[in-house]
Amino acid sequence: MYKQLMRLVLMVCLAAVAGVTQAMTIEQMRALPGAWLLGLRMDEVFAKCGLPGAIADLAGANEKKRDLRWKDTTLSLSTGEWDVFYLRQPESAFRSGWLNPIEAGRACLVDAARLVLRGREVGTIVKTKKPQGYGYVTRYRMSPDTFRAHRVLAIETTSNAPVSVTALVQKYGKPDETVAGHAGEELLRYWLVTYNKQSMPEYLYAVDFWINTKQRVSSGYAIRTDGIDFVRAHLDTLLRDWERAFVLD
């Protein structure tokens, strides 16, 4: 019992050292407008939100594109990463990708002037028992349907009404770090980690509120899962710390 208690204390200390104090809770993060879209397949997003105003294709210029069908609409896109834009005002000019020629869906623009979803093809791990009955075979399967293969790994939301830094800190607590952003902007970053039954870090999220450095108000936020590189790197650090504390002793 004493050893378990000491390990729990050590786990909390390691998380604090790694910059994960978790002032904001998982429940608070999930309550942010748009957060419920994280992890959804793109066909699920389209079914709930309607077709977006535009999709920026982030693949290279030489990446092959193909015609994809969603109901009666044809979209010419690669299978690489996409930024999917839901907007209150239609786009008149756009970079490489697809521009919606008709009215775009707004069902998911609750309390938001602009919503951007980062989508990437993500497969599923399937374990099947070997025919002889000894052990399992693990396969990584990718859906042949591009809209089903793409999952939402991050969202960015521009708010209709700015929120002061004071109000954010009162609601969510002191951020884990402040990060430099674009000119005249900084990011208040909250790290949120979930653990499995063995107290091993399982999932990690970064919530960044964009702050105007002069007015000290937030115009919106981004939520990124560990499918995004810098969040995955931070989760890997937590996992290494956990292994040293709980596995290698």
Q: What is the pLDDT along the chain (249 residues), one digit of tens a residue?
A: 434 444 554 455 555 544 455 689 999 999 999 999 999 999 999 999 999 999 999 987 778 888 999 998 999 999 999 999 998 877 766 678 899 988 888 899 887 889 999 999 887 766 666 676 666 666 667 788 899 999 999 999 998 889 999 999 999 999 999 998 888 889 999 999 998 887 888 999 999 999 998 999 999 999 999 999 999 999 999 988 888 877 655
In a domain, 21, yes or no: no
In a domain, 115, yes or no: yes
Strand 66-70 with 112-121, pairing: unpaired
In a domain, 90, yes or no: yes
Cα–Cα distance, 2 to 8 (Å, whole number): 10
Copy the structure tokens of residue 155: 């969202």
In a domain, 178, yes or no: no
The domain tally of the chain equals 1
In a domain, 216, yes or no: no
- Domain span including residue 108: 26-119+146-172
Residue 146: count of CB within 10 angstroms of its CB: 21
Residues 6+ apart with CB under 8 A from 142: 121, 123, 149
In a domain, 233, yes or no: no
Copy the structure tokens of residue 190: 């909250």
In a domain, 68, yes or no: yes
CB 206, CB 190: distance < 8 Å: yes
In a domain, 210, yes or no: no
Judging by beta carbons within 10 Å of its beta carbon (0-12, 13-18, 19+), is residue 23 exposed, middle or buried? Answer: middle
pTM for the model: 0.84
Please name every residue paired with 157 in a beta bridge, in sequence order, or none if there are none: 115, 221
